[in-house]
Amino acid sequence: MTSASVGSLAGLRVVELGQLLAGPFCGQLLGDMGADVIKVEPPGKGDPMRDWGQGDEKVQWEVIARNKRSVTCNLRVPEGQALAKQLILTADVLVENFKPGTLEKWRLGPDVLLAEKPSLIIARMSGYGQDGPYSDRAGFGGIGEAMGGWRYVVGEPDRPPARMGISIGDTLCATYGTMGILAALHHRERTGEGQVIDTALYEAVLQVMEGLVPEYDYNGFIRERSGSILPGIAPSNVYTCKDGPFMIGANKDEIFARLAEAMGQPELASDPRYSTHLARGQHQTELDDLVNAWTSTLTIDEVDAAMIRHSIPAGRVYTAKDMLDDPHFQAREAIVEVETQTRGPIKMQNAFPKFSKTPSGIRRPAPAVPGQDNAVVYGDLLGLDPNGLDALKAQGVI
């Protein structure tokens, strides 16, 4: 744990409302960069992310809640709303991912908060955005992936749309939300003004869909599912070796010539069927078959060595175990070991990206229980004494 690192956002206070993925992942990114993130959880079980993840023991919480302090607050009662408002008004940034209208119902909407603190930045994440005919609909990341165009193009062409094994819609929305916060901080630095950032799950997905929309608008072309390939980009695929899969990307002319040399078939580079980018795209299937016929006679280590020797972009298809064993991951500290509060040391992805002057890092492990920091946060920031905290607890407010 890199406790000595303070990060680029040191001194920035963030209050994180909301649960599950989009809002909390935004909070994780900000916390990794040094912000003091105060996560507000409902009293009792806390954020459902505490019970999420794969395997017998659910440890995903240890990643998404790192670098955060936890307080509890019942936002559904007036006393909790008043307490949350006091806390938010001490912050620079509010992150929330409730259904649109929820904050307004709790008297915590931007109109109320910005009237009292015009410099506050409010990042709102939802399924469909804060306005428009669908804004009051419930939305999860998977729905955003479907409506944003992602799900339709993922999978094999003869099967229904598939999904990635991660919640990419939520994390994309959170990443764009973080980007918006950083831009809003720059604006505030110049003007003193806060503002509202409105990010929708489906629009976050739409942003990474490359030429999907103009290709249809201009050409009438609709992208379809294409399995492991990108149509017209060849050779670029996962190929079969004696002992498993291996990824090769050799679709540029000069790189393909080097691949042909590595395969012992240099004549392929001058063959009219494969000599240009367009030609290789037109003969993609047969070219993939040629490459696969070569890789299937070799081990992953042998193909990898050939790719390095001929300077061809390529890589092993990693599991988590492979990542932990890889010397490059180790040298760059892409994965670090964090001493958690209840589970001992756990390895996880490090803070990212890397900064040369103000490195990000993992300064504190995820809070072990909801409200772990009630006394410190409510005491230091809001001036509540132990008797006041006991009274709020007895009322079910915290």
Which residues are designated catalytic? 170
CB 370 within 8 A of CB 72: yes
Question: DSSP string covering 23-85, please?
Answer: HHHHHHHHHHTT-EEEEEE-TTT--GGGG-SSSSS--THHHHTTTEEEEE--TTSHHHHHHHH
CB neighbour class for 3 (10 Å; exposed up to 12, middle 13-18, buried from 19)? exposed
What is the C-alpha to C-alpha distance for residues 42 and 36, in angstroms, rounded to an integer?
20
Supply 386's token pair: 């132990």
Cis peptide before 313 (omega within 30 of 0): no
CB 93 within 8 A of CB 38: no
CB 40 within 8 A of CB 84: yes
What is the C-alpha to C-alpha distance for residues 377 and 268, in angstroms, rounded to an integer?
67
